Amino acid sequence: MKALRQAVDPFGMLQACAGVQQAWMSRPAELAKQLGELSTQLAALQVQTLHRGMGLRDPDLIEPVRYDERFQDAVWYDNPFFDHLKEVYLLYTHWLQDVIESTPDVATQDAQKAGFLVRQVLNAVAPSNYFWTNPAAILKFLQTGGRSLVDGFANLLKDVQHGSIRMTDDSAFVVGENLATTPGAVVYRNELLEVIQYSPATDKVHPVPIVLVAPWINKYYILDLNPRKSLIHFLVKQGFTVFVTSWKNPGPDLSAITLDDYMLRGVLQAVEVAREVCAVPQVHLTGYCIGGTMVAALMAWLNRGGNGGGEMPVAHWSLFTTLVDFSEPGEIGVFIDEPTIEYLERRMAATGYLDGKDMADSFRALSSNSLVWHYFVHNYLLGEELPRFDVLFWNMDSTRMPQAMHSFYLRELYLNNRLVEKDGLTLGGRPIDLGAIRQPLYAVGAEQDHIAPWESTFRIGALVGGSVRYVLATSGHILGIINPPVDPPRRRYWAGAVENGAGAAEWRAGVAKVPGSWWDDWIEWLRPQCGEPGSPPALGGAAKRQLCAAPGSYVLER
C-alpha cells in the first residue's frame, strides 16, 4: 500500500489535501461560517452581474492582480458574460486558497502542499485556457477565418513531438554563434568544470580579476546572452579581467561527486586559476544563485583555515539572488520535506543523477500561469509563432544534478538549514561558520524572486562579520540580475549598507529607490577595491595555456 501511495502521490500532495478536507469536516460550524461568507459574496456577485446587464458600471467585486495577464483585455470588463465568468472564477479561486491557508490544526507544510496542488488545478481551469471562454481566441478565429486554430493544432503536434509546451523557438539560437559570444578562451578544464577567461576590451584593466561562479543548475551563458545583455561583456568593457565557471553536465559517471567537490575542485580551483593567470594574490569572487551558496561556504571555509598556507585568496565578494538561510526558501519549499527527498533519492539512485527536465518542470510549476498556461494559450488557442527569446532558450537548456551532491544539498541546506548554524556543516574537512567571514560583501536580491525570496537573501547581512552593501533590484530571479543599463532607465533598485541588524522591511524603508541598473552601482563599488588599472594579462597568462575558444565544450553538452 505504501509503495502504491508513493507511486500515485510521490510528493504527498493528495494526502495533504485529504488532511485539509478532514480538518474542515471535523469542524462543521467553522466550515458553515466559511461557506456562509462564500454565499454572501456570490449573492453580491449576482447583483453586480444584473447591474452590468442593465448597463450600469458597478466596480468589480474582485479585481485581478495587476500583473495577471489573463484578464487584461477590456472585454473581460465590458462584456457582462465574460465579466461574470471572470468574477466567478476569481471568487472561487480566492475563497479556496484562503480557506486552505487558514485550515485549523494542520501542519504548515501540509497546508502549503494542498494549496500548491489546488492552485495548479485552479490555474488549469481558468476560463482563459479554453477556446469558447477566451474572447481573444474567438476574435482571432473570426479575424483569420479559422487559420489561428489550424496553426495552433500544428503547434500542438510539434510540442507533442518535443515532449513539452515549448516557450521559445529553439532553432533561433546557437550557443557560440548568437549566444555566449564574448571573446575568450578556456584556460583550465577538469572533470567538473571549464574555466573561461575573457579577452580584454580596454588598454588597461584593474589588477584584481573577477571570478564569476555560475549556478550549475543551469548553464553559465545566462551571464553572456548577447553583447547588449551580457554581464560578462559589460564587465570586460569596464576594464575588468573576467573568469567564469562553465560546469560539466554530469552523467552517471559523476554520481558520486559531492558538494565538497563543487567547492574545492570547482569554485576554489577557479579562484586559483585566476590568481595564477593574472599573477595576483587575490581575486574578487562572485556567485549567482546556487553558485553563490557555494561561494559563501567557500568564504567561510577559507576564513576558518586559509588556503593551505594561510593566505586569503579572495579580497572581497558578491552574491546574486543567493540563499544561505533556507528557513523560508519561497515557493520551492513545497517540495522540501523528508518524503519528497526520499522520493527524489530513489529516482537518482536509478540513474545517478536528477534529470534536468525534472528540475525545469518543477520550476515551471511554481509559476504555471506565466510559464505553462501563457504558452498553452498563445501556442494553441491563438496559433502564434513561438517567440525568439534568449532567456527562455537558456531556461530550457537544463542540466543534470549528480546524485550525491544533490541529495546532500537538499537535506543539509534546504531541509536541515545547516549552513547558517555555526559549525553545523562540515565541508572539505572544516566546520563552516559564516560569522567568520570578514571580507566586504556586495549582495543583490530581486523584488519578485520566487526562487530565492529577497527577504531571505537579505539575511546574509546579519550572518557574516564583514561590511555588507545590499541591493534590491526590481523584477525576478533572472531579469533582476540580467539588468543592463539603458537610456531611459527601465528598472529601479534600492541600495545601501546593512547595519545594526536591520530587518529587510526596515532596511528598504530607509534607502532611496534609484532609477537605472544596479550594474552601475556595482562597478562603482568594485573600482576602488580592484586596484589601479594596468596592462591586461594574456589569455592563459604564463601559467596556463588556451585549451579552446570560448564558450568551450562543456556548455554544449546536452
What are the beta bridge partners of residue 494?
A: 472, 513
For the four alpha carbons of 273, 277, 282 and 284, in that order, the dihedral sign comes to negative
Query: Per the structure block, which three cell numbers stand in for 88?
Result: 466567478
Whole-number Cα distances in Å, 469 to 322, 342, 494:
14, 39, 11
Q: Which residue, among 117, 130, 169, 144, has the nearest Cα to 376 in the 3D structure?
A: 130
Residue 414 near residue 329, CB atoms below 8 Å: yes
The sign of the torsion formed by the CA atoms of 372, 376, 382, 388 equals positive
Measured distance CA(284)–CA(269) in Å, rounded: 14
Alpha carbons 368 and 519: distance in angstroms, whole number = 30
Could you write out the DSSP letters of every residue in 224-264? -SSTTT-HHHHHHHTT--EEEEEE----GGGTT--HHHIII
Which residue in the list 17, 278, 289, 530 is annotated as catalytic?
Answer: 289
| CA distance to 166, 364, 393, per residue, from 396 (Å) | 9, 10, 5
In terms of DSSP bridges, do strands 193-198 and 210-213 run parallel, antiparallel, or are they unpaired? unpaired
With b for 16 or more beta-carbon neighbours within 10 A and e for fewer, the 83-120 pattern comes to: bbbbbbbbbebebbeebbeebeebeeebbbbbbbbbbe
| 3 state DSSP class of 186 | strand
- Is 530 one of the catalytic residues? no
Task: Count the neighbouring beta carbons within 10 Å of the beta carbon of residue 508.
Answer: 18
Output phi, psi for 334, to 5 deg: -65, -25
For residues 545 and 347, give the distance between their C-alpha atoms in angstroms, rounded to a whole number: 40
Which residues, in sequence order, are bridge partners of residue 402?
Answer: 353
Query: What span, in angstroms and rounded, lies between the C-alpha atoms of 105 and 337?
Result: 19
Distance, CA of 274 to CA of 284 (rounded, Å): 10
- Give Cα 314 distance to the centre of its chain: 26
Residues of 449-487 as b/e, b for ≥16 C-beta within 10 angstroms?
bebbbbbbbbbbbbbbeeebbbbbbbbbbbbbbbbbeee
Which residues are the active-site residues?
Answer: 289
